[in-house]
Structures are given as C-alpha cells and as structure tokens.
Amino acid sequence: MTNNNSIRPINKAMNLEDIAAKAGVSRSTVSRVINNEPYVSAKTRTKVEAVIEEEGFSPNPAARTLVTQRTKAIGIVIPHILNAISSDDAYFSTLLRGITEVTTQRDHATLLWLEQTGDDEERFRRRILQNRMMDGLIVASAATNDPLFAHLIEAGTHFVTVERPTQFREHTNYVTIDNVTAAQTAVEHLIKHGRHRIATITGNLNISDGEDRLTGYRNALESAGIPYDTNLVIPAQFNRHNGYQGMKELLNFKFDAIFAANDAIALGVMQAARELGLRIPDDFALVGFDDMNIATQLNPPLTTIHQPVLEKGAHAANLLIDLIEGKVKTPQAILLPTELIIRESCGVKSKETG
C-alpha cells in the first residue's frame, strides 16, 4: 500500500530492511547473520542477533524460496487412500509420526497429499507434480506400476518409496522390510507346528508388500514340499472387509491355517470366524502381519510379524533429505528387520519359541 519505509503498516511483518535499519547495518549484513555466513564481525553479529531476537523476526520463506529454489519442505504422498488409511489401521499414522520426527529435527515442513475417494488419478498426479512447494516426496502404498513414478523421474524430482520398487529400480531410493522372508517365516512357523493345509488371504497384489508376502507364502510351502493349491489363495486387499469376505470364500475348502497378509485382514477373518462359530486356533490357526497395537487385545491375541513402521518413516525422511541436500547420490535401498511375534492365534503357546 504505502511506499514509505519509515512507517510500517500495523500487522505487517518486518523484513530484512527493517531489521537492518534498527541495527544500523545494511540488509546484506543481516542476511549474512541469519544464514550464518562468515565475514561478519563478532560485534556486528551480536548487535544484529539482538535486534532479530527482540523483534522475533524470521525471514519470509516465499522470498527465500524464490531465490534459493528450495522450500525446506517435503511431501508425503498416499495414492491408495482406501487401502493405506483403512481406519482399522495404525500403520499410516505411525508412518507419519516417524517421518515428521525427522523432518522436524532437520528443520523441514511436511505436506500431506492423500488421494481422495472421488479423485481421478490423473488429477491427483498433476496436483502433486505441479505443486512446487516441496523439495522432494515420500511415496507410500503406491501401486508398483503407478505412472507417478515415471513422471517424477522425468521431472528429476527427488523421491523415496517405502515399498520395494519393481520398475525404475536404478532410479528409486527406498526403505522397506524383507516382506518375502518375513512372510515365509510366518508360514514356516505354521508348518513347523503341524499345519499343512495353509490358506492365505493376500494384500493388494499390485503393491509390492502384497506381492512379496504372497511370494514368501509360496516359498514356505515349496520348501516344505507342500503343493500350492490355488483354492487356498484368496486375492484380496489390505483391509478388514476383504479379510471378512476372504474367510467366507475359504469355507468351501478344507484348511487348518490362514496366513493373513496384514493384521487388518486377520481382524476380518476373526470377525467372520466368530460369526460362523469357528474357533481360533482350535479350528484353524491364524497369523497376521504388521503387529498393530491392537493385536495383543484380540481374542485370541494375534500371532503376527512385527515391522518397525516408525523407523521406516524416519529412515525414509532422512534418506530423502540427504538426497535433497546432495549428501547421497547413488540409489539407496534400506532394509529394516522384522520379527515373528508368537501369541495365541497360531496355536502355539507364546512361551515356547517358534
């Protein structure tokens, strides 16, 4: 409104110039102090810092971004909202916590991009790709063939996934767990304890987590010389409803155990079993995946694979910011450990180890 430097409108934030005037130096010097640059005398620095402190000044991020081309913000992208944030599940909020822990610590803001139910994919992608408020992206629960990846790579945008990539592997940084081995461990545990007709209700097979857990299941059967029976493999998605439906489909066949691709699915199985008057683990054993907090609380407590979701988020954020800051060049693949947690749903006393 006014061009008069001496009178600042009320409520108008201060700027470098104002601070400089108050400190009796030039704008450039204030900038140097703020950015911790050398070549400022101790005395000047102290004076300027005092004024900054006194005024509670902080530099305008938009102006800064305009010249530095950096926003000091990252984005979290969740394309498949219905799967990822099935509200049964603490996976998502735990991941967020892990991520923000690091972004906060490393002085970055965090933008959240959830694909909405009515959204078409193309618009969602454009919204993210065109938004230039972020220096990089963490992509969670995307389909392995999601076109987003091609666009990100083409645009040269830094990104990290929390699933194993199946395409563009040489361009993709990721942090995940060894889903194949973990699932295999779970199923082998069932086999070791006398279950031989083991069914599985899978997660989304277009997400590597789902795909890999099915592979682990197959591997376990194969190692034990148990034939792979497609009747016992119910393709589904990572949510409770699918577990519930899957259980009902399985009724047509004989089985003595179910490996659920995650705990939400296991929850659905338990609900169906209960309605059908089937008892776990007496009528069939059940093993889940994720170790959500609720697992101890179920009846019976759920045997499951524990995975370090918080750490996954934290590692992803660190990796992304390292990438942005140029501290990491070659594509990184970080694998986090998992653990089989034996409770009661698998029919083995939790005292005796696997």
Partner DNA sequence: TTGTACGCGTTATCAC
Partner DNA sequence: GTGATAACGCGTACAA
Residues near a second copy (CB under 8 A): 11, 13, 56, 58, 60-63, 65-66, 71, 73, 76, 81, 85, 87-90, 92-94, 96-97, 100-101, 104-105, 109-114, 116-117, 119, 127, 130-133, 156, 240, 267, 270-271, 292-294, 296-299
Those residues whose C-beta lies under 8 Å from the C-beta of residue 46, and which sit 6 or more positions away, are none
CA distances to 63, 174, 190, 214, 324 from 60, rounded to whole Å, are 6, 33, 59, 50, 21
Asked if 41 interacts with DNA (CB under 7 A), we say yes
Asked if 15 interacts with DNA (CB under 7 A), we say yes
Q: Is 264 exposed, middle or buried (0-12, 13-18, 19+ CB in 10 A)?
A: buried
The minimum distance between CB 106 and DNA, in angstroms, equals 17
The minimum distance between CB 271 and a second copy, in angstroms, equals 6
* Sheet strand arrangement including 233-234: 233-234, 198-201, 257-260, 285-290, 303-306, 339-341
Residue 19 CA to residue 21 CA, distance in Å, equals 5
The minimum distance between CB 92 and a second copy, in angstroms, equals 5
Asked if 60 interacts with DNA (CB under 7 A), we say yes
Asked if 16 interacts with DNA (CB under 7 A), we say yes
Q: Which does 43 bind (CB under 5 to 8 A by kind): a second copy, DNA, none?
A: DNA
Q: Which of residues 157-216 bind DNA (CB under 7 A)?
A: none
Q: At what angle do helices 16-23 and 42-55 cross, to 10 degrees?
A: 120
Measured from the CB atom, the residue of 196 and 349 that comes closer to a second copy is 349
Q: Which stretch binds DNA (CB under 7 A): 22-30, 121-129, 140-148, 303-311?
A: 22-30
Residue 212 CA to residue 220 CA, distance in Å, equals 12
Asked if 17 interacts with DNA (CB under 7 A), we say yes
- The two structure tokens encoding residue 193: 């304890």
Q: Which does 194 bind (CB under 5 to 8 A by kind): DNA, a second copy, none?
A: none
The minimum distance between CB 156 and a second copy, in angstroms, equals 6
Q: Is 349 exposed, middle or buried (0-12, 13-18, 19+ CB in 10 A)?
A: exposed
Binding test (CB under 7 A) with DNA, winner from 46, 50, 54, 68: 68
Residue pair 82/118 in contact (Cβ under 8 Å)? The answer is no
The minimum distance between CB 311 and a second copy, in angstroms, equals 14
**Count of residues that interact with DNA, criterion CB under 7 A:** 32
Q: Which stretch binds DNA (CB under 7 A): 24-32, 216-224, 297-305, 334-342?
A: 24-32
Q: Which residues lie across from 113 on neighbouring strands?
A: 77
- Identify each DSSP E strand in 244-284 by its residue range: 257-260
Name the residues that contact DNA, by CB under 7 A.
1, 3, 12-17, 24-29, 31-32, 34-35, 38-41, 43-45, 59-60, 63-64, 66-68
